[in-house]
Amino acid sequence: MLDDVPRGAYGRTQQSKRFADIGVTVPTIHDVAKAAGVSISTVSYALSGKRSITPATRARIDEAIAALGYRANAGARMLAGTRTQILALSAPMHAETHPPAFMSFVVSIAAAARRSDYDVLLLTGSDALADLERVASSKLVDGIVVMDVATDDDRIDLLRDLRLPAAVIGVPDDVEGLTCVDFDFEAAAGLAVDRLTAAGHRSIGLLGHSAALYERRSNFAPRFRDAFLLAAAERGVATAFRATDPTGATDDVAALRTILPEMTALVLNCNEEQHRRVLRSLETHAVAVPDALSIVSACSSFSTDVMSTPLDVIPLPAERSGRRAVELALAQIDGDAVPHVELIPPSYEDKGSVRAR
C-alpha cells in the first residue's frame, strides 16, 4: 500500500511529499502510529479488524486518527477488506427520463450519503446489469442504492445474486428479500380523489406522463394511474385517463374532454412542462381555474407556486425518499436491517386551485 512506503530522506512518504509540494500536508498511517505510540502494523490491524487489540491501544489509535484527520485511501481499505465509504447509485437514464425530477433524487441521495461520510458512484449507463456487476466484482462499493425501478426490473434478481447491501427506491412486483422505500403513490391517488369528491366533483379526469413511461412498466406512473382509477370507481366518480403528448402537438385537455365531457376537475400526474402546457391551453380557451375547472397536481417533485396559476399539490418527497434509502443501505452494511417495504405517506398542500361545486 502506498501509505506503507518507507519514509524518504525528508521524513515523509512519497504520498505526503506530493501534497506537501503544493502546500497541503496529508497525514499517513506512519503519522498515526507515531502519535499513538504503536507500530504501523498495529494501526493496520485496528483499521482492518483482522486482529484483536486491547481497548486502551484502540482508544489511542482512534484519538490519533481523529486528531490528525487521517483517512485511509480507498485502495488500501479494499485491500484490507474494510469499508470503502462509497455507495453505488444505479440510475440508468433513458429517453423518458425527466432530468429535473431525476436530479432531485440524485442530489438527495448524494447529500444523505455525504452526511454519513460516504461518497456516491453514479451509474447511469444503459447496461445497468453490467455496471452493477462491475462495481460488485471490483469491491469498490460497500452497498448499492437502486432508483427508477420498473415493476419487473432486471436488476432485482441481480441484487439478490450479488449479496451486497442494497436499498431500492420503488416497489417492484417481486419484493422478496428486498429493502424498499418509496412514496405511497396508491395513497396519494386516493387522497387526490377524496379531496375532489369532498368538494363535490363527480367527474374527474387524469392526465398522466407520456405513454412510453407506462409502456416500459416504470414503477411509479402505473401505480398512481391504477390506484386513481380504482379509487374513482369505488367512490362512484366518472373518470378517464389520458397519457400526455410529450411533443405538445396535442391539446391534452381537449382530448380528455372528448372522453369525459362533463369533467369539472382534473388531476395532473406529469412533469412541470406538461403542467405549463395544460395551463396555457386553459388560458387560451378562457377556462378559469378553479372557477370552471379545479386542478390538483399529484406526485410533483417541483413547486407549483411558480406556475401561472398556483396549484394544489401532493408533493413527491424526493429528499425524504433519497435520505431514507441511504439510511437503509447503511443499516444493512452495519448488519442492522431486515428486508421490508416502507411507504412514505402523502400530504396535501392547498394553493387555492380547487373550488367546491
Is a pLDDT exceeding 80 seen at residue 81?
Answer: no
User: What pLDDT was estimated at residue 352?
Assistant: 98
Q: How far apart are CA 106 and CA 92, in angstroms?
A: 12
Mean pLDDT of 49-73: 80
Q: 5-14, 28-37, 324-333, 334-343: lowest mean pLDDT where?
A: 5-14
User: What pLDDT was estimated at residue 23?
Assistant: 46
List, for residues 11-28, the tens digit of each pLDDT value: 333 444 433 444 445 677
Is a pLDDT exceeding 90 seen at residue 71?
Answer: no
Residue type at position 155: R
Is a pLDDT exceeding 60 seen at residue 56?
Answer: yes
User: What pLDDT was estimated at residue 83?
Assistant: 85
List, for residues 299-314, the tens digit of each pLDDT value: 999 999 999 999 999 9
List, for residues 260-316, the tens digit of each pLDDT value: 999 999 999 999 999 999 999 999 999 999 999 999 999 999 999 999 999 999 999
Helices (H), 69-127: 74-80, 99-115
**Element housing 137 (H / E):** helix 128-137
Q: Which residues contact 238 (CB under 8 A, 6 or more apart)?
A: 202, 203, 204, 232, 260, 262
User: What pLDDT was estimated at residue 51?
Assistant: 67
Print burial letters for 165-175: b (CB count within 10 Å at least 16), e (below 16): bbbbbbbbeee
- Cα-Cα-Cα-Cα torsion 188, 107, 102, 289, nearest 10 degrees, comes to 50
Angle in degrees, CA 95, 140, 94, rounded to 5: 0
Mean pLDDT of 124-142: 91
User: What pLDDT was estimated at residue 9?
Assistant: 30
Pick the more confident residue, 96 or 84: 84
- Give the residue from 216, 203, 227, 242 showing the smallest Cα distance to 299: 227
- Cα-Cα-Cα-Cα torsion 238, 303, 307, 229, nearest 10 degrees, comes to -10
User: What pLDDT was estimated at residue 47?
Assistant: 74
Helix, strand, coil content of the chain in percent (nearest 5): 45, 15, 40
Percentage of the chain modeled with pLDDT above 90 = 66
Average pLDDT, the chain: 87
Mean pLDDT of 136-151: 92
User: What pLDDT was estimated at residue 49?
Assistant: 64
User: What pLDDT was estimated at residue 12?
Assistant: 35
pLDDT band at 216 (very low <50, low <70, confident <90, very high): confident
Owner of C-alpha cell 374527474: 204
Q: What are the cell numbers at 123?
A: 451509474
List, for residues 193-205, the tens digit of each pLDDT value: 999 999 999 999 9
Residue type at position 344: I
Is a pLDDT exceeding 90 seen at residue 337?
Answer: no
Mean pLDDT of 248-258: 94
